[in-house]
Structure 1
Amino acid sequence: MIVIGAGLGGLALANGLRRAGIGVAVYERDPSPLIRRQGYRLHLSDVGIDALTSVMAPERLAAFLSTAHTPAPRFVRFDPMLEKSEVLEHGGLHLSIDRRTLRDTLLADVAETITYGMRLTGFQVAAGHVTARFDDGTTAAADVLIGADGINSAVRRQYLPHIRIVGTGLVQLYGKIPTELAEGMDNVFTAITGPGHRTMGVAPTRDYATCSFGARADDLPPGLHLMTQERLRSLVMDMTDGWHPLIHRMIVQWHEVFPLELRTSVPIPPWQTTRVTLLGDAAHAMSPAAGAGANLALRDAAALVAVLAHGGPLIPALRSYEQEMIDSGFAAVRISAANGSRVLGQDPLPAS
């Protein structure tokens, strides 16, 4: 199997395939696993935890889970003066984990299967195999090619060019604050929403709390990625003028801040199954407003391993995987868009 992309979904897939005795080669366009900032804290629900349980070695999973933090299973919203305005209780198990810790854990048993610095330029499907082409002139062939290469997927761009990726109208600045500043906000997620769709988001892990500031893109100046940490903090301090003093104490100690435009897939009907398939954000990217993206990528990986390990004809197995992946993935895209519109001021999801 060829896996394009060594993000969380691709690494989970590689772990599961290897444990099932299925050969796998992973190709990642980044020159190393540390080159890009992708966020800090992640929310894991039962969906993601169950998926990890099925693809990881038990001792690896136990060591990883020992690093997790268990927040109160609820979403809480405050106004700018920290008066509580909404509480939504969640069922099931919820964990706050560090993205880097999870990635390092998933890398541990499959590092030798990964080749870095390999940018996919295209692929060709032939009878019985798929051949991938890379920008260094090399090729690789296998029974199946899986695009796990994220929202900017090169696999999807060739395979399903009609899938649209659109902006949500929102930009978020992600960073960290000391956990003591998040006292009283130890929830799955805490949102502090103010006028003009300006939102602070807080979620503790064991060692820090992730802290984000989101706003409409047209409410923010250009060149955020060029700004110093001091300038970003000053900008958000100005945009939260009059908010509770605790919020300003958070901003003063906010660090490792970087901006990210929030984008989403637009759902489409199922496509004809071939020896090429997708998982995670390559298929169903979504805004973070439901805390579901990483969980669904892990679930996709576990589900794909299950159908491939079961044996039998390949195309019907992939079709079974894709039917569930498309239905549940695009359902989550719609839920995330609805939550994002209600809480964050996200643009409505286009009809098509």
Structure 2
Amino acid sequence: MPGNLRVLIIGAGVGGLALAQGLHRAGVEVTVCERDLSPLGRLRGYRLRLDPNGLDALDRLLPAPLSRAVWDASSTPSRTSYLNGTPPEEPVERDVSINRRTLREILLHGLDGVVEFGRECTGYRLDDAVTATFADGSTASADVLVAADGANSVIRRQYLPHARVMDTGVRIMYGRFPLTRDTAGLIPDEWFGIYRGLFGPDHQHIGIAPVHPRRPAPLPGLTDTGDYVMCLLAARTELLPYSDVELRAATGLELRDMTVSLARKWNPKAGELLALADPETLFPVFLRTSVPIEPWPTTPVTLLGDAIHAMSPAVGVGANTALRDAELLAAKLTETDLLPALRDYETAMISYGFDAVRTSAKFGALRMGQPPLTQA
């Protein structure tokens, strides 16, 4: 099947690009269509946690040099090693963080001619082949259409109109500040690591995560993002002085002042760290989660990642689950019988994907006041 199979992926996020890498490496004809005009795209965050599932999936999907680049660009920060200028010890477990932009640049490496930017998908039609339609009036046809276009997936809305994404009522303000010897000295030892979560009244949550890659640019052309500390504050809407409309319109300085004011009431030390954030780096995220649904009849249209199982970041497994999807789907698409292969993929993905949604929702309730999942 790889010799003549055509796969069209909508969305050039982590999951879509990882799948494209695996298929391209296996000799499958693959095209990725992304609505962003360039790889820089929209701001989605400053770091991702990669656990053993995610790292193992990347090892199997990517050529060895790219897999190694992911590891070299990842971070297992240690305050002692940072201040002493020595490399951090190899982690006991494969649990690291990586800059989102860096990971995307690595995943784009070698996909020239495969990824097409400025292609905004508006839907699809299914007949002898699957044909995606685009905002500019163009179309693209393939044997398999993969929705990797995130929680707002246009493919999911058409294909599975009963699949819901619910608002949790939690808002997260993300920012970052430079990691230097001076700022590292302000971070308590016990807060310096992969990620430190601090828990306050009314389910308020502060996160501190230094990012210090082993090698800043392990591949030619990668952006040196520098050393920095990702910081966040999560709170329910009723605790915020802004409505959602006002939150979207707020300046970075207004967002920073708000987060610092909230944090100082219950953790002054963390509030001082949040005050270091560059206002230009502040942005809000309106936390949503998918609602698990039952399996659906298999067709040549399928989904991966947030397009089907968006989840709370409470346990940091969203990207890793998308990478697990990509690995499994890439393997299945090299099998002989297309629909049985897709059915096997969806059966497994629906099970572990929605298990991750439920686990994330459970800990999201404990750590950020996320409400219970509703019924589909």
> How far did residue 284 of structure 1 move?
0.3
User: Which residue of structure 2 lines up, in the alignment, with residue 121 of structure 1?
Assistant: 122
User: Which residue of structure 1 lines up, in the alignment, with residue 251 of structure 2?
Assistant: 228
Cα distance in 2 for residues equivalent to 1:95 and 1:71: 9
Cα distance in 2 for residues equivalent to 1:183 and 1:67: 24
User: Which residue of structure 1 lines up, in the alignment, with residue 148 of structure 2?
Assistant: 148
User: Which residue of structure 2 lines up, in the alignment, with residue 343 of structure 1?
Assistant: 367
3-state SS of paired residue (1:346): coil
Contact 1:202-1:212 at 8 Å conserved across structures: yes
> How far did residue 243 of structure 1 move?
3.4
Q: Which is richer in strand? A: 1
3-state SS of paired residue (2:103): helix
Alignment of 1:291-310 (within 5 A): 291-309=316-334
The letter for the 2-side match of 1:157 is R
User: Which residue of structure 2 lines up, in the alignment, with residue 250 of structure 1?
Assistant: 273
Write out per-residue CA displacement over residues 228-254 of structure 1, whole angstroms, 9 at most, x where no aligned residue.
222212112221233344212212211
Contact 1:168-1:347 at 8 Å conserved across structures: yes
3-state SS of paired residue (1:111): coil
1:104 partnered with 2:105: yes
The letter for the 1-side match of 2:70 is F
Runs of 4 or more, structure 1, over 4 Å off, are none
**Structure 2 unaligned regions, length at least 5:** 1-6, 79-90, 213-226
3-state SS of paired residue (1:264): strand
The letter for the 2-side match of 1:169 is G
> How far did residue 91 of structure 1 move?
8.5
Cα distance in 2 for residues equivalent to 1:250 and 1:327: 40
3-state SS of paired residue (1:240): helix
Write out per-residue CA displacement over residues 4-43 of structure 1, whole angstroms, 9 at most, x where no aligned residue.
0001111001100000000001111111221311001110
> How far did residue 319 of structure 1 move?
0.4
User: Which residue of structure 2 lines up, in the alignment, with residue 56 of structure 1?
Assistant: 62
Alignment of 1:168-187 (within 5 A): 168-179=168-179, 180=184, 181-184=186-189, 185-187=191-193
Cα distance in 1 for residues equivalent to 2:269 and 2:177: 12
Write out per-residue CA displacement over residues 258-301 of structure 1, whole angstroms, 9 at most, x where no aligned residue.
00100000000111100000000001000101100000111101
3-state SS of paired residue (1:268): coil
Alignment: residue pair count: 333
Alignment of 1:210-229 (within 5 A): 210-220=230-240, 221-222=242-243, 223-229=246-252
User: Which residue of structure 2 lines up, in the alignment, with residue 321 of structure 1?
Assistant: 345
> How far did residue 313 of structure 1 move?
0.8
Q: What is the percentage of aligned positions where both structures have the same residue?
A: 47
User: Which residue of structure 1 lines up, in the alignment, with residue 21 of structure 2?
Assistant: 15
Contact 1:130-1:145 at 8 Å conserved across structures: yes
> How far did residue 61 of structure 1 move?
1.5
Cα distance in 2 for residues equivalent to 1:195 and 1:340: 15
The letter for the 2-side match of 1:175 is G
Normalising by structure 2, report the TM-score.
0.85
